Structure 1
Amino acid sequence: MITIQNTVEAAIDKVWDFWTLPENITKWNTPSQDWHTPYAENDVRIGGRFKSTMAAKDGSMSFDFAGEYTLVEKNKAIEYVIDDGRKVEIIFIETANGVEITERFDPETINPEEMQREGWQAILDSFKRYVENN
């Protein structure tokens, strides 16, 4: 598994809402300024499904990221299985400096693991900036 982390300077309830509500996901779910997420749906419960569409702003490509939740503990943890079978774990821990978010995910086999780590970290960094500035 690949692990990424960041600490968001905000209350846990805000972090959870910004992480899980589709109207927020579409604003932060991007690794760079030339990508965006024009669509997101999210049923945050065990057995619930999620789907987001990430697209290049120039229209050259897009893809859906979808899966099913296997664990949901509000303000604490989320686990899911992506439709391609890979597992993801996300832990939220309240600290004196905010909320520490740790994501662990199974790598896919097409791209180098370092590239995957950098991409997922860039999205987590985008989440941090969005929460702290809104």
Structure 2
Amino acid sequence: MMTQTNELQKPDNASLILRRVLNAPQELAFRVWTSPEHIQHWMRPEPGMSTRSAKMDLRVGGRFRIQMQDEDGEYFTAAGEFQEVTPPEKLVYTWDWEKDGSGDEFGELEGNTTEITVEFIPRGAQTEMFFTHTRFATTESRDNHARGWGRIIDTLAAYLESK
């Protein structure tokens, strides 16, 4: 099977767009993106990281929390709120990091809230995914997130192919 790569765009200093064709139907791609039991298998922004837990209240106004840990034991915990939930087509949600993500419950956020939009477009047996992350405070933050999201989407694609 031909290996797909991510198409990355940086339309401005505060935004990034990743496009990827996934070898999975739309419903499966959406479910794997939004289900805690699946997220723990593919959310890997850095080599050696693991996802310790994922919580999802998949509804407008619902919150999510994804707790990751690197090989040195440092926690990186993202949290946010769903602003739009249209299964299996589209999600819009906020994204921020907890100041101390080592706990088991939602913690205090850093206050650098960004916004993510994920669209899943059916293309026969495949799904074209458009991932847009906006409102970065700095180009450095955008570029760091671009590297992490690129790895995450690669891992997601490989995980979907194993399903």
Per the alignment, in what secondary structure is the counterpart of residue 111 of structure 1? helix
Distance in structure 2 (CA, Å) of the matches to 1:121 and 1:6: 10
Q: Could you list the per-position Cα deviations for residues 90-111 of structure 1 after superposition, in whole angstroms to 9, with x for gaps in the alignment?
A: 1110013501111111234383
Per the alignment, in what secondary structure is the counterpart of residue 140 of structure 2? coil
Cα RMSD over matched residues?
1.6
Change (3 A) 1:99 1:80: same
Q: Which has the larger radius of gyration?
A: 2
Stretches of structure 1 lacking an aligned partner (at least 5 in a row): none
Distance in structure 1 (CA, Å) of the matches to 2:41 and 2:27: 18
Identity among equivalent positions (%) equals 27
* Aligned equivalent of 1:86: 114
Q: Which has the higher contact order (CA 8 A, sep 6+)?
A: 1
- Say which of 69, 80, 84 aligns to 1:55: 69
Distance in structure 2 (CA, Å) of the matches to 1:76 and 1:65: 22
Change (3 A) 1:110 1:55: farther
What are the equivalent positions in structure 2 for 1:48-127 lying under 5 Å apart? 48-59=62-73, 61-83=74-96, 84-96=112-124, 98-106=126-134, 107-109=136-138, 111-127=140-156
Change (3 A) 1:89 1:66: same
TM-score (norm 1): 0.90
Change (3 A) 1:63 1:108: farther
Question: How many residues are treated as equivalent by the alignment?
Answer: 133
TM-score (norm 2): 0.75
User: After the TM superposition, which segments of 4 or more aligned residues of structure 1 sit over 6 Å from their partners?
Assistant: none
CA contact (8 A) 1:5 1:121 kept: no
CA contact (8 A) 1:77 1:91 kept: yes
